[in-house]
Amino acid sequence: MLAKGTDNALLRFGLGKGYLDVGDHQKAIEHLQRCVEFDPKYSAAWKLLGKAWLASRDTGQARQAWEQGISAAVGHGDKQAEKEMMVFLKKLDRQT
């Protein structure tokens, strides 16, 4: 779809999730970052972006993604994503 010129948040989210699932963290980051550029309120994308950064061993970027994701989730009323990212941040705090 990208090769045909179709590019949107949902496509990038799917690609990012797929790359994250197979362990290609850098490709996942690339697509998820593009996803949140398309839609900064996409809390699920922020959540996965943080996971991809964490898997790449960049805790600072993971923290930043989850903090932005929490803001997006609060603004969008997505309580579940907000709670999940709060848990991720607490775990990150305990590790560092």
What number is the average pLDDT over the span 68-89? 95
Mean pLDDT on 40-59: 97
What is the phi/psi pair of residue 74, to 5°?
Answer: -60, -45
Residue 6's pLDDT is 83
Please, how many CA atoms are within 13 Å of residue 69, restricted to the half-sphere of its CB? Answer: 29
Residue 79 three-state SS: helix
1 pLDDT exceeds 90? no
Q: Which domains does the chain have, with CATH numbers?
A: 9-95 (1.25.40.10)
Q: Is the pTM of this model over 0.85?
A: yes
Averaged pLDDT for residues 29-50: 97
Percent of the chain with pLDDT over 70: 97
